[in-house]
Amino acid sequence: MPPDFDVVGRLIRFNRLDVGDLRLLTVGFRITDQPGEKWTARFNQFKYGENAAVEAAARTFCGAFEGFRYGEDLRIAVVSAISSGHTTLDPRTPAARLGRALAQSRGWEWLPGLLSKTAHPSLSSMGSAANRDSTVDGVYSAAAISGEPGVVLVVDDFCTRGATLADIARAIRASNPDWRVRAASLAKTERADYWQGTLTNAHIPAVLDSAWRGVGRST
């Protein structure tokens, strides 16, 4: 069976991740053992920082959130995960560009300086899930957010088990206990073999394919 998710408008939602207590909104799957799959190939181009793919991903991500609501008149602030070797957010990274584009498209607050962290090795170089999880455990810190509390939306490029998102949530809650934390990523990293070959991106609507290709409007 494929992983359990709900379709929410143009997004899919995971009600639980392997690590932490966050739910995840995402566009689709980055299927690591099917690199030729259309959306996986696109997500990989984004991962490698190809400028055209980053711009296409931003259009698609923003288009996926059209019509989505956390609540009327609710204050929403957006932050992005920090690259492994950095201690603060580099605005040139794909994840930062994704978060900034989403905040601007929805009129949400963009807080690029809220988070800081200890630099650590790249998780992609680690073989075991336990090592990846422990590497990002306790590395993030968050500043206090002034004013009326609301929702902090944490944006990452890809989510595998949720360890990075969980540590960011821990840091934000420690400094901002009255704020709620939610999570979103461009894609969820999975292996088709693990799900016995049933994993697809067939749920992604045609309007988002057009958004990626820059054809017409995403509405």
**Which pLDDT score is estimated for 125?**
58
Distance from C-alpha of 190 to C-alpha of 199, rounded to nearest angstrom:
8
Distance from C-alpha of 97 to C-alpha of 90, rounded to nearest angstrom:
9
Q: Give CA separation, 13 vs 79, 84, 131, 177, in Å.
A: 19, 25, 26, 24
Name the pLDDT band for 73 (thresholds 50, 70, 90).
confident
Q: Is 11 helix (H, G, I), strand (E, B) or coil?
A: strand
- Percent of the chain topping pLDDT 70: 89
- Domain ranges for the chain, please list them: 6-213
Instruction: Write the pLDDT tens digit of every residue in 164-209.
Output: 999 999 999 999 999 999 999 999 999 999 888 789 999 999 999 9
CATH architecture of 6-213: 3-Layer(aba) Sandwich (3.40)
More confident residue, 47 or 85: 47
State yes or no: pLDDT of 219 exceeds 50.
no
The structure's pTM equals 0.91
Instruction: Write the pLDDT tens digit of every residue in 180-190.
Output: 999 999 999 99
| Neighbour tally for 27: CB within 10 Å | 29
